[in-house]
Structure formats: C-alpha cells, structure tokens
Structure 1
Amino acid sequence: MNSPISAREVKRHKWWGWGLDDITFRWDNKPAFPGFAKSKIGMDLEKLTPAPEPQLSDYEVPASRLGAEDRAALAGIVGEDNLLDDDEYRVVHSFGRSVIDLFRARTGDFARIVDAVIYPKSDDEVQQILAYIVEHDLVAIPYGGGSSISGSVTPNVNEKRPIITINLGRMREVISIDDTSGLARVDAGVYGPDLEEQLNELGWTMGHFPDSFTYSTLGGWAATRSTGMQSDRYGDIEDIVRGLKVVRPDGIVETKPIPGRDSGSSIHEMILGSEGRLGVITECTVRVHRMAENRVVIAYMFPDWESGIRAMHAIARSEVHPVFTRLSDGPETAFSLSMLKEPKDKKGEITRKVQDTLFAYLRKKGWDTENEMCMSYVCFEGSKAQISREQAAVKKIVKKAGGITLGAGPGAIYDQKKFDTPYLRDFLLGLNVFGDVSDTGTTWARINEMHSKVYDTFYAKLEELGIPGFFFCHMSHSYHQGACLYFTFAVPYANNEVMLEQYTAIKHAVQSEFQKHAGTLSHHHAVGTEHQPWIEEEVGPLGVKMMRDLYETQDPGKNLNPGKIVS
C-alpha cells in the first residue's frame, strides 16, 4: 500500500513538455540520426541550437477567476494544502500534451487557463466538490496524468466561469484483489508504474502499457478508452475494466464486475470513453493476471510492407497468442535504425558489424534496406515450452511471408526504450519542427489501401504547402477483423506565426483520409476537441444527437468538462 501524500507530492509533467527535466532526447550519441534528419526534413543538427528551456517567469499568467468565497468553500472540503492556485500548477493543468497544447504552453498562450487545482482523497470529497461546482455554476475538468493529445483536459478558451481541475493523484491504491476471480479494485488516480508496482509485489499484472504509461492513470485510461501496447494478449481498456465507480454531483453510479451484462443499454459502456462528461471515475475493478514465468520480444525483418502485413494477418488468425505484434513500415524502420546509439563496448561493435553484414546480404538478395525493408516485433509470454512452441509457429509464418528472424537482441532494446519517444517531440519543437501522430483502426481487407492513401494525402498536402516533411507508420493492436495503423509525422516550420496553420492543415488532411476509407477517427487517443470535427462522420448525425442529448440531460448546466466529444 502507498503512504498518504499531499497535493504537491503528486507526480506531474513539467509545465512546457513531457515528463520531468531529468530525461531529455540526445542525438549526439546516435551517429546515424543527424544525417537522417538532414536528408528527410533538411534539419542540420550540427548547425542548429535548440531554443532555451522556456521560463514561466517570461510570460504573464492571468490571475485566477476563482472568488475568495468559492476558494474557501472548496479548500474546506479537501484542506488548504490540497487546493493549489499558484501559476505553475494552473498552467500545468491547463494543457494536455498534444502538439497544439505544447506549442501554446511554450509560447505563453495563456488566454484561458484553469483557476485552481483540487486534490480530493475520497469519493465523498469528490461528490462534495462536484455538488458545490454545480450549485454555484463553476466548471469541473477531471485530470489523470495530463498525457492527453486530443484536447480532453484543455479548458474552453471562451469559458467565463471559474474552472476547477480535479486531480485524483492522491487516490492511488490497489484496494483489494480477488485472487479467485482475477479482479482488482483500484483507485482511479493511480499512475501506470505505481499500479504495476503494487500488483507485481503480489505476483499480478494488469498488462496495460500505453505509450503514455509513465505519465497516465487508470481513470484517464478508462475515460478515454485507452489501448496499451500489449492489447493482443491483455485486451483494450474496455476489456480490462470490468466494473466502474463514477461520482456525480447527485450521487454515485457503480457497475458490477460481472462476466455478462443483460440489463438493457450498457451504463458501463456509456461511461467508458466519456471524458468526464458524465462524472468523475474514481475507482475501477480490473482484470489482473498472474505474472508470466518468462517474457521475450523477438525481432523479424520483411522485404516490404505487404509481406509483413501478410505475416501479421496470419499470426492474428493462428493458434498463437502473442502479447503484441508490431510491424514498422519502411520509413519507420529507417527512422528506428537511425536512432541506434554508438556502440559502447566490444559486444556492441560486434553487434553493429553483424547488422552491417546482414544488410549487405539482404541487398544482394534484392531487398531495399533503406526504403522498403520493414522491422517487426512479436512478444511472447508464458512457460519456456509454450514460448518455444509459439516462436516456432511464428517463425514458420514469417518465413512463408518472405521474412527472416533476427532474434531477441533487437527486441530487448525495443522493450527497454518503448516509453521514450515523447521526449523526441519536445526536442523537435525546440528546433521549430512539429512532430505528431494520427492513429486509426481498419479491417485487414483495407489496411494496405489505407496505408497507401494516407501517405499520398500527406505528401500531397506538403506539396500544396510548399514545405518538407517526413512520414512513417506502424501496425499494432491486432484483432480478428483488423488492426491499428499508427502514423507519425515531422514537419519543420519557418516561424511561430505559420505553425498552427500548417499543423492543422496536415493533421486535418490525414484525419479526413481515415474517414474516406472507413477507418476510425482514432484508435486509442480519445475524441476531446481535436478529433471532434470527425465525430459526426464516425457515428452519424443521429449518433451525435444521442450523445448530445445524453450529456445535456445528465449535465444541463454544462458544468462537467463541457465541449468535449460533441460540442
């Protein structure tokens, strides 16, 4: 069990970027990266100096709009130490970690920030807070870890009422575990690493590891329909969360952690993905699994994207049950190889020589190792015998598709570095380059078409804008009927005046292409405000009306995170 903590002890991001200051992206220990960056987006790292770290004192932070009487009443609920309204805490909680949010934060665009951050410790305190907010016509925004890239925690710039962020970081316990049923009751404010640490100590794991794992919470995952890297084995968050407790101004709604539901329209499903519009998720009952005896990530290589997709599809339809399958396309594979560090010892030098020899051999076989070759990772867990059987089966599938097996070495490196990518985005923004992602879910029948058409659209938009850029993609999160395509782009911009316009044009072009080919507006990054323009294409006008009617009926005063999902 965790010891009680105060508001200022709750983990948080730095105000202008991802994570804390002790981790930054370095390029000087990656010999191939400078040349790669110059060839793809014209960025000469040897001649560029990153912008200095932003200083909040350089900007004017608007005063809090929370009146003294309201402040005293809310502080009376949680204690004076657990209501914070100093500038840095208000700025941190006013932005997620989308490109737009980070750009606004780094340039001091504080036109509307939250007025106070409150840290409850119990359901009763949450309900008292919400009841007060509704009665006195304030606005509440629930906040998990602040890792949202869809505008889900960002206040409406036109909101005139005082805005209170509710941070559940003090509610962070694994309350109990039902060993027989494989269920755990968990406070929603627990961060991913803290959750796994508590479970692991007792021999359990939840198995949910999104890219944002280190700076996101269980409640945030449920409120945004998160998906983790290991969803092939452990499921998406809607598979993992079996019961919910949602605190509302007028009471508490609980859903039972049962294996079947025959009770009409699902309240449980209604709450998942609701982004605070229906209340504050304070507790989840989740599926947990005994920790695996062994774990290994094996790397494979394919001559091209189509070969790799054939293998991924075959694995999804086989009797093998991997923890995850991931396929990087040619451009992403080239990017990943450019990120390899300089060998530090003889073993590293030998590994690099073996790689060079292998790539030379593949080129003789006709592989395009610079543009088309695709790397894949497959993770196996279980007993040694089980892993051996599944590895053998996957090796056959890979070979039949024209690929080769590389082994566990590259896979181990991937597993160690899988949560580090957000720091690269901060680094790029400091050099006037915006990097972002757009993800979609699509069927196996349309996955290659989607991949190709989105590429065409991205580069057509760059040509229209007259600017360079780089685009890459991977496939992950395999299902029986399809998979996720996760696109990443990096585009340099000339100055701050054109950045948002260019970013929005590119992002909108990519997102619109998803809809043209029957993809989802996002596979696992929520709706918020950034994906809201496509919600009607996703669910239809009557679907939007149903959601709007639900939110307006349950929150007639628009006090609960208004403006998210549907306007």
Structure 2
Amino acid sequence: MTDVKHMKWWGWGVEGVGFHHEDKPGFAPFVVNAVGIDVWKEPVPPIDFAEVNVPESVASDEFFAALTTIVGPEYATTDGLERVVHTYGKSIRDLIRLRDNVLPRVPDVVVYPADESAVQRIMALAVAEDAVIIPFGGGSNIVGSLEPVPTETRTIISLDMGRMSRVLDIDEYSNLATIQAGVLGPDMEEQLNARGWTLGHFPDSFTHSTLGGWIATRSSGMQSDKYGDIADMTKGLRVVQPGKLLVVRPIPASATGPSVREAILGSEGRLGIITEATVQVHRLPAKREVLGYLFKNWDSALAAMHDIATSDAAPSITRVSDARETAFSFSTSKASHGISGQVQKALFAFLQKRGWNLDEVCLSFIGYEGTASNVSHQKSVVGDVLKKHGAITLGKGPGALYDQKKFDTPYLRDFLLDRGAAADVSETAAPWAKLKPLYDNVFAAANKAYAEIGMKGWIMCHLSHSMHSGACLYFTFAFTHDGVDPIAQYDVVKSAIQQAFIDNGGTLSHHHSVGVEHARWIEDDISTAGADLVQGMFTTVDPGKNLNPGKILTRE
C-alpha cells in the first residue's frame, strides 16, 4: 500500500510516542488540583482495533474498479483501518468516539491520487455517480471538517492528498513557491530549506498537517506576527471543481472584484479540491532567537502585547500565558538541579521581595528573526516596551525549550483520556479593547458549565497571535468526566465557551475553522446575509452536494 504517513488511528501523533510525567515532579500535584485525577493510577488504554466495528463499505465493485483505474490498484482501498483513519480528525469528540467504538459512517473508499489530472477524473466520476468526496490532508482537524454526515447513504470517497507532496518551483526573484497541496509541514520545509527558503508557517499541528489543509481551514502559525497567516501567504491556487478547474493567478494584489482567492480560503473542501498553491516564501533568517519573559500579572502582559503590536517592532512570536497556563507550564518542567535550580529559586525570591504574587505571574515567549542587526534592533524596541510594563527577562533558555517542545502538547490529551479526563481547546480573536472582558467572561462561562455538569474542571489561556487591531486568545479546558456520557458533558462546556466568544465580541474561531463543531454559530459570526452569500457559493459550485456536505453551514 501507499507510503503516505498517517497518525495513529486512536490518538495524536506517532505510534509509540506519548506524554510522560515521571520526570516532571510538579505535574501530578498540578493535575490533582486542576481536574482531580491521580496520574499515577493505572491508565485505561484505547480498545484494540480488532474490537472496532467498522461498517461495511457500500462502494459497488464497478465504482471501486473505476477508481482503481484512475489511481492504480495500490492507491485505492476499502481496508477497515485505512477507512477509520480517514473518518475523524483529532478533537476530543473524535477521540472519545473512537474509544467508544462509535462509527456511524466511515468513508467507503480511500484513494491517493498522484496528480491534478487524477483528481479531476475522480471528481468527474464522483459527480457522475452521485458520490461524496471528502478531501484529507494530515487528519489533524479538530472541528469535524473530515467526518461524513452520519445519515449519508451515497458512496463516500476520502481523497487523501498525501502523494501530491512536492515543491514544484521557486521563483526566487518574486519570493514565490508553487507547492502541491498534500505536502506535510516538515516535508515542505525540508524541501524549501534545502534551497535557502522557508514559508514561516508553524501551527501546533505542523508535523501532521498539510499545505492544502492549512488553506482549507485558514490556519495561523506560531510566527504569524511576522509572516502572516496562511491567508496572507497564499497568492495563487489551483482548485478542481465539478467539470472545471479554478485557477487563481499569483498576483501580489488585485482590485478585480470580490476575491475568489478569499472564497477558497477556509472553504473546507466545499468549493473544490485544492491541488496546488503558490505561496510567498522568505529567505532563511540569518539569526533566530526566542526569549522568555515574566510579567507580574495578566493585565500588564496584555498591555505590553498591545503596545508591541502598535509599535515599530516586528517580532515573529508574541505569546503570553495567563497565570493558570503559566502554572501548567511550570508543572511540565523537569526537575531543576544544580545551578539552574538555584537560579530559579533566587529569581522567585527576588520577585516576591519586589511585591510580586507568584500565583499571578505570566510567562511569555517573544521571537525575533532576521539579520543580526535587525534582531538586535527588534529586541531593543521590544525591550523598551517590556521595561515600561515591568517585565523580567529570562533569557534564551526557556525560549529554546519552548522551541523544542512546541509541537508536543497535543499528546497530553491522550494521556488524560487514558485517566478519565477530557481536554480540548477553543480560540478566538477580538479587538484589543474587548480582550480582557472577553477573557473574564469566558472563564465565568466555563466555570458555570463545570458546575452544571457537576465535574471538577480547569481552564487556562494564552495570547497566541498579535495583530495591529487585536489578538487571538487561545483557551485550553479540561475536566474529569463521569465515564457515562463524556460527549454530552463536553458539549455543555464547549458550547458555553463558544457562546461567550460571540456574546463578548469575538469570532467563533481564529484559526481552527468551522467544520460541524462551530457551524451553529456561523450566522451569529457573519450575519444571516453573510451565511446566505456562502450558501449561494456552495449551491452554485456544487448543486449536487457532492463536496464535503454538512460543513460550515447547518441549513442543509
């Protein structure tokens, strides 16, 4: 079968890799306090795949044979494991359903096209036979963008883009690269780096997500403050639609009517299958530093992030955790010995003497990239802002550790699920003036939801992306579930948080897209007229509802 890489079917990441707490002495007491579970108790692992009830494929022999003719016999399959891998993303809802053997509908066939021509032929066949196509990149989505409609009776194709994974061309004078949509983040960067370039896009899911997936969900990366998010980076597109090929030329700017490029961004496969993108790339920076800082409290941290965003500074990363997430970060640190442990104790003693409440301290990471002189200048400008707000510089050590561990956090969800707790994330963006009230009211809504379900819960937050007019707040929440109906309990908490976003001037998602998880709030976010416009596009491009139906809008 194909050598396309996939995550393990039951959880995040690579088989055999997971979160371990034994070398982190602060973690166990932190988790007991936060969600009331004993991390030392025997975990309950996921079921064996042999126990999974995989519905039979409804694809006819003739249909499967026709797909095989297009992609080759080794690149079309009805194998049960392959179909389950392509059924869900990696939200807590997805992972709980997999563990509970809940698979009401799975794709009937998984295909791996090698090129755009094959995608066009698959599209033509699917429309002619009234089948459904769901595009699949890395499988990291957390809002239900991948799952089939449970009541769907037509044949469902999961179109895995993993074979289309090459950097096709770099226009070095224009700083543009044309890249196939199925390339995973690390593979793309390896190809770009070999020629001295980088896209600069590093979402949390980087190791297990694709360029096409980023575009289809309007992804943002950790360095979006400098490089922009994927919507800023994407200049040209090739999109296979029923009976058509949509081509958006890589123009730096255009005033030719409503933006077709923008319509494809965030469309989750509903307006076609993205096969290629031309994106702006940058020369690898001569110097890169990520420094750690401490703020006295959340208010001073938010004020500093605002002032950096509206200054002449252009850091690549501006991230700051609230006190609760800072406590979590400290709990995942390995035991400090020798000089480093003594320095940490001395620093905290010094801060206490200065009147800092260590329970309110906020940890920040700020990144700088460019020439040595530019990095020095940026650090100076940012340093003046931080000094004004009383921040303490921690140096390069914490930043280096952040860089090493930045893609590992999702493994923690599986660890907690094994021990009877559920954890997930919700993120939003709002104007600077609304951030603090939004933050306070989200916490109040989450805690009210925990009381409603009668479970001990935790919520924490970090500011992850700064923009001139506002910022993204990224909330992580966790609770001990009752083991009877954890999804119902999750719905109470998740809904409370999302509704608080809307009620307090935030968007329903800054960079995780809509899928089915957020669809119920879409009209609150973009207005009924806006939803009408989106519906009109879907109906025009896909009158037969063959392209990933049921996502973004709930009217269908």
Range of TM-score over shorter length = over 0.9
Tell me which amino acid in the other structure corresponds to 2:324.
P
Map Cα deviations across residues 302-349 of structure 1 (whole Å, 9 max, x no partner). 110010111111111111110110010000000000000134xxxx53
Say yes or no: does 1:109 pair with 2:97: no
Please give the secondary structure, in 2, of the residue aligned with 1:477. Answer: strand
Tell me which amino acid in the other structure corresponds to 2:498.
Q
Residue 170 of structure 1 aligns with which residue?
Answer: 163
Name the CA distance, whole Å, in 1 between partners of 2:163 and 2:319: 35
Q: 1:65 aligns with which of 30, 53, 58?
A: 58
Cα distance, 1:104 vs structure 2: 0.8
Residue 375 of structure 2 aligns with which residue?
Answer: 387
Map Cα deviations across residues 398-428 of structure 1 (whole Å, 9 max, x no partner). 1111211111111110011000011001111
Q: 1:29 aligns with which of 23, 38, 56?
A: 23
Residue 507 of structure 1 aligns with which residue?
Answer: 494
Map Cα deviations across residues 441-467 of structure 1 (whole Å, 9 max, x no partner). 001111111111111111111122221
Cα distance, 1:543 vs structure 2: 1.1
Say yes or no: does 1:283 pair with 2:276: yes
Structure 2 alignment gaps of length 5 or more: none
Residue 243 of structure 1 aligns with which residue?
Answer: 236
Say yes or no: does 1:327 pair with 2:320: yes
Say yes or no: does 1:350 pair with 2:350: no
Cα distance, 1:392 vs structure 2: 2.0
Cα distance, 1:364 vs structure 2: 2.2
**Cα contact 2:242–2:541 (8 A) shared by 1:** no
Map Cα deviations across residues 208-265 of structure 1 (whole Å, 9 max, x no partner). 0000000000000001100001000000101001000001120211101111112111
Moved more, 481-490 or 381-390: 381-390
Say yes or no: does 1:526 pair with 2:520: no
Tell me which amino acid in the other structure corresponds to 2:85.
V
**Cα contact 2:304–2:389 (8 A) shared by 1:** yes
Residue 54 of structure 1 aligns with which residue?
Answer: 47
Name the CA distance, whole Å, in 2 between partners of 1:263 and 1:359: 57
Name the CA distance, whole Å, in 2 between partners of 1:352 and 1:395: 26
Moved more, 551-560 or 171-180: 551-560
Residue 228 of structure 1 aligns with which residue?
Answer: 221
Aligned length: 554
Q: What TM-score does the superposition give when structure 2 sets the normalisation length?
A: 0.98
Please give the secondary structure, in 1, of the residue aligned with 2:138. Answer: coil
Q: 2:537 aligns with which of 536, 547, 550?
A: 550
Cα distance, 1:365 vs structure 2: 1.9
Tell me which amino acid in the other structure corresponds to 2:218.
R
**Cα contact 2:220–2:229 (8 A) shared by 1:** yes
Say yes or no: does 1:13 pair with 2:7: yes
Structure 1 alignment gaps of length 5 or more: 1-6
Q: 1:470 aligns with which of 438, 441, 458?
A: 458
**Cα contact 2:133–2:547 (8 A) shared by 1:** yes
Name the CA distance, whole Å, in 2 between partners of 1:349 and 1:213: 35
Name the CA distance, whole Å, in 2 between partners of 1:350 and 1:445: 42
Name the CA distance, whole Å, in 1 between partners of 2:53 and 2:161: 28
Name the CA distance, whole Å, in 1 between partners of 2:281 and 2:202: 13
Name the CA distance, whole Å, in 1 between partners of 2:472 and 2:91: 20
Q: 2:181 aligns with which of 188, 196, 208?
A: 188
**Cα contact 1:438–1:486 (8 A) shared by 2:** yes
Identical aligned residues as a percent: 49
Moved more, 82-91 or 49-58: 49-58
Q: What TM-score does the superposition give when structure 1 sets the normalisation length?
A: 0.96
Moved more, 396-405 or 125-134: 396-405
Map Cα deviations across residues 80-109 of structure 1 (whole Å, 9 max, x no partner). 100021110000000101111111112111
**Cα contact 1:128–1:249 (8 A) shared by 2:** no
Q: 1:376 aligns with which of 358, 364, 374?
A: 364
Residue 119 of structure 1 aligns with which residue?
Answer: 112
Tell me which amino acid in the other structure corresponds to 1:309.
L
Residue 487 of structure 1 aligns with which residue?
Answer: 475
Name the CA distance, whole Å, in 2 between partners of 1:144 and 1:45: 33
Say yes or no: does 1:363 pair with 2:352: yes
CA RMSD of aligned residues (A): 1.0
**Cα contact 1:112–1:155 (8 A) shared by 2:** yes
Tell me which amino acid in the other structure corresponds to 1:547.
V
Tell me which amino acid in the other structure corresponds to 1:192.
G
**Cα contact 2:430–2:506 (8 A) shared by 1:** yes
Map Cα deviations across residues 480-526 of structure 1 (whole Å, 9 max, x no partner). 0000000001101121x220111000000000000011100000000
Residue 198 of structure 2 aligns with which residue?
Answer: 205
Name the CA distance, whole Å, in 1 between partners of 2:92 and 2:31: 19
Tell me which amino acid in the other structure corresponds to 2:417.
L
